[in-house]
Amino acid sequence: MREPAATVGVLALQGDVLEHEAAFDDVGVRTRRVRRPSDLEGIDGLVLPGGESTTLSMLLESSGLFAPVAGGLAAGLAVFGTCAGMILLARRVVDGRPDQRTFGVLDCTVRRNGYGPQRNSFEGGADPASDDLEPALGALPAVFIRAPKVITVGPDVEVLATGGADGAGEPPAPVVLRQGRVLAATFHPELTPDRRLHRLFAAMARPRAAQAGR
Ligand code: GLN
């Protein structure tokens, strides 16, 4: 029997929504824009795209989405945060704004704009540290735009890839993390043609009925 297809919601308050939609289209996953609480009904996963985490935090509140998204995450909704979206998932944020809220479902500490002014934006690579990121395909191209830097990772968090600025002389930092049904990348996988992270999230967001039947 064919499995029911997943629908992934893409938070569409700000940020690179179109690029995530195109990436999921590439891997055969239907998407829906999430702008208000009713848009969350029936989705199997949610993407929190890049943008500006302080603005996203405010817009999540004013749209009435913060509480229902937090409730969905507590109930096991799969979530994928990229860049600012990762900050929204982190339990601890250094150099954030005092009024900025996060969902706190990813046990890590991130430093906002953690790569410093000289490397505001750069392209580098992310080396897979897990078979789930298909290491045979090599490093993932990684575009960092005022990216957060992961500075601590809790014991229940898997580091799926490490990386950073090529040739910048810094030790590689964790750049892709997973904790249960939470996936996060400090860079922007939707801006390059490599679809490994979207494929992985599509597998994490399989409809619950199909997962129960496995
Ligand atoms: N620096 C941004 C923030 O703090 C994130 C940038 C991005 O998502 N490209 O939210």
Which ligand 1 atom is at minimum distance from the Cα of 113? Answer: 1
> Strands across the sheet with 90-94, in order?
90-94, 106-111, 149-153
In the set 19, 20, 108, 188, the catalytic residue is 188
Does residue 83 carry a catalytic annotation? yes
Domain ranges of the chain: 7-213
Domain 7-213: give its CATH superfamily.
Class I glutamine amidotransferase (GATase) domain (3.40.50.880)
State the distance from the centre of ligand 1 to the C-alpha of 112, rounded, in angstroms.
7
Known catalytic membership, residue 190: yes
Q: Is 108 an active-site residue? A: no
DSSP assignment string, 70-116:
HHHHHTT-EEEEETHHHHHHEEEEES--TT------EEEEEETTTTT
pLDDT digits (tens, 9 = 90+) for 50-62: 999 999 999 999 9
- In the sheet that holds 121-128, the strands lie side by side as 30-34, 7-11, 45-48, 78-82, 182-185, 173-179, 158-165, 121-128, 140-145
pTM of the model: 0.94
pLDDT at 211 over 70: no
Summarised one tens digit per residue, pLDDT across range 90-105 is 999 999 999 999 999 9
